[in-house]
Structure 1
Amino acid sequence: MPISRRDLIKLGALAGALGLTARPGLLRADTPAIKPLRILILGGTGFIGPHQVRYAVARGHQVTVFNRGQRQADLPGGVEHLNGDRDKGDLAALKGREWDVCIDNPTSTPFWVRDAAKVLKGKVKQYMFVSTISVYADNGTPNADEDAALAKYTGRNVMKETRDSLRANMALYGPLKAACEFEARKQFRGTATIVRPGLIVGPGDPTDRFTYWPVRLAQGGDVVAPGDGSDPVQVIDARDLTEWMIRLAESRTFGVFNATGPNYTMSMAALLHGIRATTTAGATLHWIPTTFLAEQKVSPWSDMPVWIPAQGDSAGFGQRNIGRALATGLSFRPLATTASDTLAWFKSLPAERQAKLGSGLTPEREKTLLDAWKAKAAG
């Protein structure tokens, strides 16, 4: 059964974005912070963690990462590594320690927040929780801000939900993240910072949700593009997100912030033309109407990454208000930089990884779709 757009939206924004314009006040990574911090990062070896660690170390901070130790990451020397398993309540390595800030990257289950608080409450001056724009109950209103209603958990016991139950039912993702936010504000009252990213993109992205486009456009030829190009989209480069988060820690900024970009309405056409301009392959974009894509069972977000039609209950999906984050210094690197760096990173991966993108159309399906569209247009 095809997934509905409403369900897709609730599952989709696992979180964002691409910098398109530089903003005043962007701090160089090699500029020492005024006051070095002791930073604890829960996770630290996934997608955004290494970007956080590298920027924080370059700014002169002392960084500790806490995770299961099962994933390797290229982290700078001098970073302290602590191990434990939050699924099993094993946070013993954190006991008796103090940090200026804790950044919680991987948490999607509220009991992880509760258990972290048992060890860290009163031991950290700021708790920063990485949430998602998927926490919102509704995506139909353009320019909605952080005060919009959140998704509600309707299960039996939110503290009994685990990563396994989430994997089995991804419809829980938004409600569980919203419940995590509630627990964070409850446990770290007055010292919590909630960051709600949109689609996070750039070097290191394991999902290929954005990577598909630089890779595909660099290949050239006839390229399927979704809709008429006017649908707004939002994304955030992982480096823009994480560097801004470290600066929030330096300034001890609390509150709730949507974190995606750019700082103006960007259309799907602007995104794809901007990416295409970084290549010399001469790709030809074929904009195929939303109705025809639906008839051909081409899914927004997965088959056509980044894109969700700006219609009905998804009219506001690509237009979240980010005014609060901009006011605290969220800044964006150029789209060309993100696209070029992402492509270069992807080309550095092993051949078997490059052979199959995690998102987007396969070459065979794209050709079939283009042939069907041309036949319809000619008939």
Structure 2
Amino acid sequence: MVRTLSRRAFAAVALAAVPLHARAAPPPPRPMRLLILGGTGFIGPHQVRYALSRGHKVTVFNRGRRPQDWPGEVEELTGDRNAGDLSALKGRTWDACIDNPTTLPFWVRDAAEALDGNVAHYLFVSTMSVYADNATPGQDEAGPLLTYDGDPLAARDASAPMAYGRLKAASEAEARRRFGAGKVAIVRPGLIVGPGDETDRFTYWPARLADARQAWGPRVLAPGDGADPVMLIDARDLAEWTVRLAEARTAGVFNAAGPDRPLSMKAFLAGVAEGVGARPDLAWAPAGWLAERKVAYWSDMPVWLPGEGPTAGFHRRDIRATLAAGLTFRPLPVTAKDTLAWFRALPAERQGRLKAGLTPDREARLLAELSAPTQG
């Protein structure tokens, strides 16, 4: 199936889809035929729109369950990788393939067999969760990886504890084995954020600081002392950069997170507040105090990880190779503003059920306890 808009409409929509910071990117060396496996999830639609704006011919391959209105001509192939149905890819040739949704190594194997060498470059979107050591700050892409106990090609479920990172690491190895290391880019994102993030792992903070539901109180519970590090990446920055890597046929392994200078939790919340026009009254709660009350990092306190102990290195990964490969970052306030706008456009029922963060009642109880005079 191919959907099209008029040339004039396409030009207008495509230009609007490309942020100002990315319009300065050098033009692609040549138009390419780009295959995107997935294409309808979180980062895929951004990749499609950016690739179209740069003059590429785009094909997406997925199960066809989440139709999109593309700003230009997109070829849509359907199949089911769980069932081994990749017949739509056979006998076709593309300049590059971006594989977004794969966690299970047999998906990589099957894609390689279906493409049968008819793709010049393969980019695999992995995760920073592949690393075995999250305690040591400053590790680069050569850091030790998790291993899978058993035959990874036989795995059909990534829901078991730690299975996600182990199977992603095994998928990386399968990609290099099947496509050849010189033709493969492995991109390991950290926390992916921005408009369209259905996990609410970032969305909680713009919504909370702007009090989008008008249900929270004026004080905001904040984790730690503000000094803990933060790393994240806007889905649009990630998507655009992966397309540019594919254009250049860049091979290698890259930690995809930012920004390009250290960011503390205090600075992170200040950037979010700037983006949503808020002036929050932050109540900082020590990490130990939160742990005693079973306030979990990453879920109850999204984005945040303690900057010491077993998580000291997670938000301190070395990204010098990634910066050298051209990843750029839009300002955090822009990401926060755009995320809040997306969130406020969702149905009221969805806005009332954030999937991460504290509920107003629980936060109120914690704030009262934090403010209560200590008994001595």
Decide: shared fold, TM above 0.5.
Answer: yes
**Aligned residue for 2:343?**
346
Q: Residue 76 of structure 1: CA displacement? A: 2.4
Change (3 A) 1:56 1:223: same
1:322 aligns with 2:314: no
Q: Residue 378 of structure 1: CA displacement? A: 7.3
1:216-227 alignment runs, 5 A limit:
216-219=208-211, 221-227=218-224
**Structure 2: which amino acid aligns with 1:269?**
K
Match for residue 206 of structure 2 among 214, 221, 226: 214
> Aligned to 1:81, what secondary structure does the other structure show?
strand
C-alpha separation in 2, matches of 1:39 and 1:149? 32
> Aligned to 1:266, what secondary structure does the other structure show?
coil
**Aligned residue for 1:16?**
none
**Aligned residue for 1:274?**
271
- Name which structure has the greater RCO, CA cutoff 8 Å, separation 6+: 1
Change (3 A) 1:74 1:361: farther
**Structure 2: which amino acid aligns with 1:90?**
D
1:158 aligns with 2:149: no
Quote the RMSD (CA, aligned, Å). 1.6
**Structure 1: which amino acid aligns with 2:110?**
D
1:1-379 alignment runs, 5 A limit:
27-28=22-23, 33-154=28-149, 156-162=150-156, 165-167=157-159, 169-189=160-180, 190-219=182-211, 221-377=218-374
Q: Is the 8 A contact 2:276 2:340 kept in 1?
A: no
Kindly provide the CA deviation profile for residues 22-66 of structure 1, in whole angstroms up to 9, marking residues without a partner as x.
xxx964189753311100000000000001001000111011110
**Structure 2: which amino acid aligns with 1:333?**
R
C-alpha separation in 2, matches of 1:350 and 1:32? 39
Q: Is the 8 A contact 2:223 2:286 kept in 1?
A: yes
**Structure 2: which amino acid aligns with 1:311?**
E
Q: Residue 361 of structure 1: CA displacement? A: 0.5
Q: Residue 171 of structure 1: CA displacement? A: 1.6
**Aligned residue for 1:20?**
none
**Structure 2: which amino acid aligns with 1:324?**
A
Q: Is the 8 A contact 2:130 2:165 kept in 1?
A: yes
Q: Is the 8 A contact 2:60 2:74 kept in 1?
A: yes
| TM score, norm. by length of structure 2 | 0.90
Give unmatched runs, 5+ long, in structure 1: 1-24
Q: Residue 210 of structure 1: CA displacement? A: 0.6
Kindly provide the CA deviation profile for residues 230-259 of structure 1, in whole angstroms up to 9, marking residues without a partner as x.
000100001111111111111111110010
C-alpha separation in 2, matches of 1:86 and 1:239? 26
Aligned length: 351
